[in-house]
A and B are shown apart, each in its own frame.
Chain A
Amino acid sequence: MSRRVLVGLVVCLCVATLDPGAVTAQPPVKLTFWSWRVEDKWAYDKMIQVFEQRNPGIQVEFVPFKQTEYNTILSSALTGGKGPDIIHLRAYGGLETFSAAGFVAPLDFDTVPELKTFSRQMLDGARGRKDGKLYGVPFASQTIVVYYNKKIFSQAGVSIPKSWDEFLAVCKTLKDKGVVPIANGAKEGWTLELMAGAVAPNFYGGTVFYDAVTSGHTSFKDPTYTNALARMLELRPYMHLNFMGVDYATMQQLFLNEQAAMFMGGSWEIGFFKAQNKALDFDVFATPPLRGGQVPWVSSFNDGNYGINARTPSLDAALKFIRFTATREFGQMFTDMLAQTSAVPGVVITDPILKHVQEMNRKATPYMMLVGFRWQAPTGSTLLQSALQGMMAGQKTPEQVGDEVTRGLSAWFEPFRGR
């Protein structure tokens, strides 16, 4: 009797282990995804929902941190052997900080075949400078444009300028009508770097100069570059009287409250402007070149990447998620919800303003310091930002700015040594 019971129990046990239900009852793999995009959490949660429906057994939790604290939190976690499975990473030098230290898992076309379709310019922002390996899936491209208030323009009887002189004339007309022509300020250096990214490429010759300076054939002391920076000084009379104290938030408020007619900034503002003032009738144009009839250059860059923590215990699941972020489906959701240009090729843009940005990108040049000179400290951006503040305050000439940036970069950029 007891033997029968024993056999019965063994049979039951075998059947139980063979039950396919037991396999699906395995606890799901949980991935954490850290980011600095607090304001985009709602959109990421929705995109993650779609992923989880397609991949039962994997759960992803999106955990955003305050932008200014994100780097510190992430560095501390990674050096402590912790951190998330999926990491929202910056591009170029901001990525290199983590990839060179071995904290990000390298990817390639075999592990993420979707990357094959991405543009070279986007992928360059996901590469380690030293080893040339890919460390992430680019998520967005950003372009520096001039936003303009259509209502103010029509009231002042001006239209989109086609040449630099026309641009200055438009500014003058707007100022005469009592409107602040350009909302930009100088209190935060990075907004001045953006302004340089909007104005300078048309005067230094876009990618031709970019290639020459990044290969070390010339430096930022080149008059081609310093003369281009000098053009920014021509805009000073058309900024707010106290523009030196105008910070980023005030710039945005000036444009949103229709106190300023134009705003030089990144394409990431489109969604924000629309959300903040639904009645704001605005569009974008590229800063006009010296002479009309030429197609203007716009600065653009890879905004950042999604990467995998090299020490994740759930590499397969993380890879599945990373591949999902490289699909057109993800890219489309990203563009539709966040009003930004997804880095995934083939995404259809419906937003009319974003469409204009996409058209301008046909003649895009790398955003100089971010793409070319943010690989080691002191970065080109750090040097340029404070030097430009000095220039706009009237304490430095464009030549001194070029000299300071070149000298600072020579600390790590060999070709500039002794220049």
Chain B
Amino acid sequence: MPGSNRSAAGSGPRRAEAPPPSVALTRFARPRPRGLTRRGSQRLWLVIFLAPATALFALFTTYPIVSALVYSLYRWEGIGRRELVGLENFVRLFTTFPYSQLLLNAFWHNVVVFVVTMLAQNVVALGLALLLARGPWGAKVYRVIFFLPVTLSLIIVGFLWALFLNPVFGIVNQLLATLGLAALARPWLGDTHTALVTLTLVNAWRWLGFPTIVFLAGINAVPDEYLEAARLDGATEWQVTRHVVFPLLASAVTIIVLLTFIGSFNWFELPYIVQGVSGGPNRSTDVLGLFFYRMAFGEVDTGLQDIGVGSAIAVLMFILLVTVSVFAAGWLRRREVELA
């Protein structure tokens, strides 16, 4: 999924295999310092183990979020912070041309990216996982092939596809010409109608293996007895998939949908690498991440920054992601219970 490499391992059916936390902690807590009770010692170990992660999280996540919020409330001159202006940057973002238009435009593109990714990446991944779960000949090899692009650096993926899609030297148009489909050849990344979808499909190509593996793990975790019972009752293959496998895949779907949503609305790397910071042509590939970057750090050639408005965009993105993720997670989890 776009911009996300978070692993879902451990959140699915495997969770049950982990030892209960108290047992694990007791095992670690054996070298208890003298004078400490068992409980006190446990707490000490908890603090020791949690401190590094908490410190890193505070430094690299909490601090930037808080500082973005603070920055968004000030007026900026270049990179110099001036007086407190309250919500003025937000008002400018929503009411001043071209910001208001760019904000809507970028937000709409994020929505498109989410929808296209859900269809072209996750639906296809589910199909592939169902096929691979049947254990066809060479299933292991296919699994590796599908997952291979995920392991590639995004920079490589970006440059590679920019070359493939180059309208002058690229192989995509040449291939189309060879197949007698020269009429379909176009500047895929330069045409305002095709650029965003092309870019999203490249991204889906890169990430396809990840949801495939997650769904495959989910399918493999379905107990054979359930499937056999359904088949004995005379269910067709489709009915088994639809009424037994799909409901039990709900937790995997929750994870994938949430990660796709977060990835789609945080999307930055691939458009930045392939299209540059301006989200061209004519803002047809502009997304919130790029819009934020341009405002906060300036366009490459103008270098003029508006950190106030940039921070306001970052704050809005954060609020949007947190709110929707929390509600969506709640809803999807409730559905998991209903389906199970």
Chain A interfacial positions (CB closer than 8 Å to B): 67-68, 71-72, 75, 78-79, 90, 93-94, 96-103, 185-190, 240-247, 250, 253-254, 259, 374-379, 381-383, 385-387, 389-390, 393, 395-396, 404, 407-408, 410-411
Q: From residue B69, how far is it (CB to closest CB) to chain A in Å? A: 18
Residues on B with C-beta less than 8 A from A71 are 297-298, 300, 303, 305
Q: A186-B281, A383-B98 are in contact. Are A96 and B78 (CB under 8 A)?
A: yes
Chain B residues within an 8 Å CB radius of A187: 187, 189-190, 275, 280-281
Given A389-B282, A390-B281, 4 other A-B residues pairs in contact with their CB atoms under 8 A: A240-B167, A243-B187, A389-B281, A407-B98
Q: Is B77 an interface residue (CB 8 A)?
A: yes
Q: Evaluate contact between B282 and A390: CB separation under 8 angstroms.
A: yes
C-alpha gap A71/B296 in the complex (Å):
11
Q: Which of B78, B190, B282, B300 contacts A387 (CB under 8 A)?
A: B282
**What are 20 A-B pairs at a CB distance below 8 A?**
A71-B300, A96-B78, A96-B304, A99-B78, A186-B281, A190-B300, A244-B187, A244-B191, A245-B166, A246-B167, A246-B168, A247-B190, A377-B295, A377-B305, A382-B278, A386-B282, A389-B281, A393-B191, A393-B192, A395-B192
Per-residue CB contact flags for chain B residues 299-326 toward chain A (1 = under 8 Å, else 0) read 1111111100100000000000000000
Query: Chain A residues near B77 (CB, 8 Å)?
Result: 100-101
Q: A374 contacts which chain B residues (CB < 8 A)?
A: 302, 304
**Chain A residues whose C-beta falls within 8 Å of the C-beta of B282 in the assembled complex:** 386-387, 389-390, 393, 395-396
Check if A250 sits within 8 Å of B281, measured CB to CB: no
Docked Cα-Cα span, A75 to B173, in Å, equals: 41
Chain A residues with CB below 8 A from B84, complex form: none
Partner of B186, one of A72, A242, A386, A390: A242
Flag whether B137 is at the interface (Cβ < 8 A): no
Chain A binding surface SS class: helix
Whether a CB of chain A sits under 8 angstroms from the CB of B188 is: yes
Q: Which of B80, B168, B191, B277 contacts A254 (CB 8 A)?
A: B168
- Interface size of B by CB at 8 A reads 43
Select which of A96, A254, A386 is within 8 A of B278 by beta carbon.
A386
B98 and A378 form a contact (CB under 8 A): yes
Q: Which residues of chain B have C-beta atoms less than 8 A from A243's C-beta?
A: 167, 187, 190
Instruction: Mark B residues whose CB is within 8 Å of A.
Output: 77-80, 96-99, 165-169, 173, 185-192, 275-278, 280-283, 294-295, 297-306, 309
**Interface contact B79-A101, CB-CB below 8 Å:** yes
A-B complex: 7 closest residue pairs judged by Cβ atoms? A245-B187, A245-B190, A101-B80, A242-B167, A244-B190, A245-B167, A97-B78
- B122: shortest Cβ distance to chain A, in Å? 28
Given A100-B77, A381-B301, A389-B280, answer yes or no on A250-B98 (Cβ-Cβ < 8 Å).
no
Residues B189 and A381 in contact, CB atoms below 8 Å apart: no
- A381 and B302 in contact, given A96-B78, A242-B186, A245-B167 (Cβ under 8 angstroms): yes
A411 to B100, CA, bound (A): 12
Decide: B299 and A381 in contact? CB cutoff 8 A.
Answer: yes
Interface contact A377-B97, CB-CB below 8 Å: no
The reply to whether B79 and A78 contact each other, CB–CB distance below 8 Å, is: yes
How many residue pairs bridge A and B at CB < 8 Å? 156
CB of A196 to closest CB in B, whole Å:
14
Q: Are B280 and A98 in contact (CB under 8 A)?
A: no
Cα separation A396 to B284 with both chains bound (whole Å): 14
B80 and A102 contact, CB distance less than 8 A: yes
- Residues in B with CB closer than 8 Å to A383 are 98
Give chain B residues whose Cβ lies under 8 Å from the Cβ of A254. Answer: 168
Report A-chain residues with C-beta under 8 Å of the C-beta of B281.
186-187, 189, 244, 386, 389-390, 393
List, in ascending order, chain B residues with CB within 8 A of A253's CB.
Answer: 168-169
Q: Which of A101, A190, A242, A411 is within 8 Å of B187, CB to CB?
A: A242
**Which residues in A have their C-beta under 8 angstroms from that of B309?**
377
Contact, CB under 8 Å: B304 / A94: yes
Residues of B within 8 A of A190 (CB): 300-301
Q: Give bound CA distance, A389 to B282, whole Å.
A: 5
**What is the CA–CA distance of A376 and B307 in the complex, to the nearest angstrom?**
12
- Contact B304 A97, beta carbon cutoff 8 Å: yes
Given contacts A101-B77, A190-B301, contact A385 B278 (CB under 8 A): yes
- Report the bound CA distance from A396 to B173 in whole Å: 27
Bound CA–CA A162/B193 (angstroms) = 38
Structural contact, A242 and B185, CB atoms closer than 8 A = yes
By the criterion CB–CB under 8 Å, are A407 and B97 in contact? yes
Q: Which residues of B sit under 8 angstroms from A99, Cβ to Cβ?
A: 78
The minimal Cβ–Cβ distance linking B244 to chain A, given in whole angstroms, is 48
Minimum CB–CB distance for A275 against chain B, Å: 21
Residues in A with CB closer than 8 Å to B190 are 185-187, 242-247
* A386 partner residues in chain B, CB cutoff 8 A: 278, 280-283
Q: Which residue of A lies closest to B295 (CB)?
A: A377
Measured CB to CB, the nearest residue on chain A to B293 is A72
**A94-B167 contact in complex given A189-B281, A243-B187, C-beta closer than 8 Å:** no
Question: Nearest chain B CB to A202's CB is how many angstroms away?
Answer: 23
Question: In the complex, which residue of chain A has the Cβ closest to the Cβ of B296?
Answer: A72
**Which residue of chain A has the shortest Cβ distance to B188 in the bound complex?**
A245
**Do B189 and A189 have beta carbons less than 8 Å apart?**
no
Partner of B169, one of A94, A188, A250, A396: A250
* Interface-centre pick from B79, B98, B303 (highest chain A CB count, 10 A): B303
A242 to B97, CA, bound (A): 31
Q: Closest B-chain residue to A102, C-beta based? A: B80
CA distance A75 to B297 in the complex (A): 9
A242 pairs with B168, CB closer than 8 A: yes
In the complex, A308→B118 CA distance in Å?
A: 52
Q: How far is the CA of A386 from the CA of B276 in the complex (A)?
A: 12
CB neighbours (8 Å) of A259 from chain B are: 168
Q: A101-B80, A408-B98 given as contacts; is B169 within 8 A of A93 (CB)?
A: no
Q: Which residue of B lies closest to A373 (CB)?
A: B302
Q: Are B305 and A404 in contact (CB under 8 A)?
A: no
A383 CA to B77 CA in the complex, in Å?
A: 20
Residues of A within 8 A of B302 (CB): 93-94, 374, 377, 379, 381-382
For the complex, give the distance between the alpha carbons of A94 and B303 in Å.
6
* B290 smallest CB distance to A (angstroms): 12
Contact A411 B97 (CB under 8 A): yes
* Bound Cα distance from A186 to B282, whole angstroms: 10
Query: How distant is B105 from chain A, measured CB to nearest CB, in Å?
Result: 10
Chain A residue at smallest Cβ distance from B193: A393
Tell me whether A188 and B305 are in contact in the complex, defined as CB-CB below 8 angstroms, given that A102-B80, A245-B187, A408-B97 are known contacts: no
